[in-house]
Amino acid sequence: MDYEVIKIRTAVTKNELDSGLSFMEGGQDIPFSIDRLYCVYESEGNKQCGFDAREHGQYILFCPYGEITVLVDDGQQREAIMLNDPSTGLILGSNMWREITWRQKNSVLCIAAHGHYDKEYLCSDYSAYMDFVNKEGWLSKGK
């Protein structure tokens, strides 16, 4: 599967309970430049989002506050990744289906993306995603 869990550089004060700073730089800490940054938070009663895949672009997801599970799926395997530490990031490549579940109220998910938003390259129907993977080949293009 085209994903990697990384450690985000983090600095803390002498008393780790006071504060900390987690940071990353495109091209150094993550293998792409950042074109877009957005944050997703739980709306009233909605504990899940995502349920989509994007044909182009790379992403890093991180949770600066709270606890979120990201289910990643490449059409052959599924794996749940827990994001609950601001010093942990999840890099996703293109063509990865993702489902996001809030495990703690008021959690925040930040996403830095390479590539601009284009609805044409967004798939939000899992059956259609599996058709692309198995027949037309988002994943089979390079095979």
Question: Do residues 74 and 1 lie in contact, with contact meaning Cβ atoms separated by under 8 Å?
Answer: yes
What pLDDT, on a 0 to 100 scale, did the predictor assign at position 84? 95
Residue 140 has pLDDT above 60, yes or no: no
Q: Where are the domains of the chain?
A: 3-8+21-136
Q: What is the pLDDT of residues 122-135, one digit of tens each?
A: 777 888 888 888 87
pLDDT band at 139 (very low <50, low <70, confident <90, very high): very low
Nearest CA-CA partner of 51 in 135, 123, 130, 120: 123
Query: CA 56 to CA 114: how far, in whole Å?
Result: 9
What pLDDT, on a 0 to 100 scale, did the predictor assign at position 143? 38
Q: Is 58 exposed, middle or buried (0-12, 13-18, 19+ CB in 10 A)?
A: buried
Q: What is the pLDDT of residues 26-85, one digit of tens each?
A: 888 888 888 889 898 876 565 766 666 776 678 999 999 999 999 999 888 999 999 999
Model pTM score: 0.81
What pLDDT, on a 0 to 100 scale, did the predictor assign at position 63? 95
Helix (H) or strand (E) holding 9: strand 9-12
Average pLDDT, the chain: 82
Query: CA 73 to CA 96: how far, in whole Å?
Result: 6
* Architecture of the domain defined by 3-8+21-136: Sandwich (2.60)
